[in-house]
Each structure stands twice: as C-alpha cells, then as structure tokens.
Amino acid sequence: MSLRRPVIGITPDRDFEATDIEALYQVRRNYCDAVIRAGGIPIILPYMELGMVELFDLLDGLIVTGGMFDIDPVIYDGLEMPSATLKRDRTSFEIAILKLALEKNLPVLGICGGMQLIGVTLGAKVYQDLPTDNSDGLEHMQLEPCSKPHHPVEVEPDSLLFSAVQSPSMLVNSLHHQALKDVIPPLRVVARAQDGTVEAVESLAHAFCLGTQWHPEYAGDEKEGEIFNAFVEAARG
C-alpha cells in the first residue's frame, strides 16, 4: 500500500446574498477533517473557468459537497421553477469539474446535493420536493443535529458502498427536501430509505464514483469513516 497522501479537491459553497467582492467560499471543517483522518490532503476549489484544467491536474480525488440550494431544474427537465433556490455559478463550476473527473476516471464522492449533481450529470432526474411528491414518506429534513442519525438505509450487498462499510444497513442523518429519481445506467441505486427514497448511487462505468444523500462527514454512524477511507484509498492509486 502506498503511503502517499492524495490531494482531495472539495467544492465550496458561497454566500448567497453577498456581493462578488465580499463573497466568501465556505466549507465546513468536518469535510476537511474526514479527508485528513482518512489520509488525504484537502484543498478548497475556487470557482474558475480559466485555469480549471490546471487546477484539476493537481487533484487525486474530488468531493462535491452539499448545500442549502437546488440544482437548476432546467439542466435535467428543461423547465423553469420559480420557487427553486439556485446558485448558478456554483452549479456551473461543479458540473464542469465533475465532468472532467468522470472523463479522467478520477475518484469522486458526492454528498447530498453532490450526489444529486452526479445523478443529473449521468442522466437521472430529481424530485423537486419530497413532502409534495411523496407526502406519505419519511421526514427527510431532520430537526436534531446532523451528528445524530435520523433513519436507517438498506445497502445493496454487491456494491462499492457495501465493500466500504461492510454492512447491509446503516443509520444516517437526513437534511434534504429533494432526491434522485429515474436513475439510469451507468448509475445504479445502492441504498434506499424505508420509503424508497434513493440514498446512495454509484457509477458502473467508473473506478470510484459514489454518491450519498446523507452527510457522512458528521460521522453519526461509525461506518461513515469507512466511506472516506475507501474514497481516499482509491485516490491514492
């Protein structure tokens, strides 16, 4: 096993209302801490077009993070949604660097909205609002801290996720009002909640491309760290 510490790029959020000159890039520390514990070196990726390829060439792996906003439905449905909360500059950058990672077969981990971005990039669609689209389903926007698990998920036994966590089920947090639907190859669903909501996907066309709807960086379940361990090990090459 190589002892090299792989460089992991992490996509940040940005202030929603700040002007460009005052805007901050923001990444919760627990994303970085999870990468460091797993043996990687985290770096925060600025939104940039000029020089993106040079930036990408520094990376051994990519984490696409979540955030309190929606992917523009025009991207996957071709429909305007006035009620959607959008961050177009962030989404544009994340799609571009995600496509580079997939083209180069770089290990990718998508978390929450990052999983949804993997999904729409590879042909899936998104439920706009789970309480509306599945009113009899679980409550997926927990009120308790995200360090506390909220509901179980069932894990497919022949999956990349299972090989990492070594368990047919997990207790996970839940902080989302949207979810993937109409998942098509090369993606496959590898974990679901009890109400059928897609909780994890992976790509059969890539060496390591995994998305979780929950936030494993909070480590509410002891198995969460194994997801980062598997990802960083794949990035180590």
pLDDT (0 to 100) of residue 16: 67
The average confidence (pLDDT) of the chain is 90
Which of the two residues, 136 and 52, has the higher pLDDT score?
52
Are residues 133 and 176 in contact, defined by beta-carbon separation less than 8 angstroms? no
Confidence class of residue 143 from pLDDT cuts 50, 70 and 90?
Answer: low
Residues annotated as catalytic (active site), given as ranges: 112, 215, 217
Taking the C-alpha atoms of residue 230 and residue 61, their distance in angstroms, rounded to an integer, is 12
Rounded to an integer, the average pLDDT of 220-234 is: 93
- The pLDDT tens digits for 166-211 are 999 999 988 777 899 999 999 999 999 999 999 999 999 999 999 9
Query: What is the H or E stretch that residue 64 is in?
Result: strand 61-64
Q: Can you give the pLDDT at residue 20?
A: 76
Least-confidence region, from 101-105, 167-171, 199-203, 219-223: 219-223
Report d(CA 218, CA 211) in Å as an integer: 15
pTM: 0.93
Q: What residues have CB less than 8 Å from 87, skipping those under 6 apart? A: 13, 14, 16, 67, 69
Using alpha carbons, list the distances in angstroms from residue 146 to 52, 114, 131, 212: 33, 17, 20, 14
Q: Which domains does the chain have, with CATH numbers?
A: 7-236 (3.40.50.880)
Q: Is residue 99 predicted with pLDDT exceeding 90?
A: yes
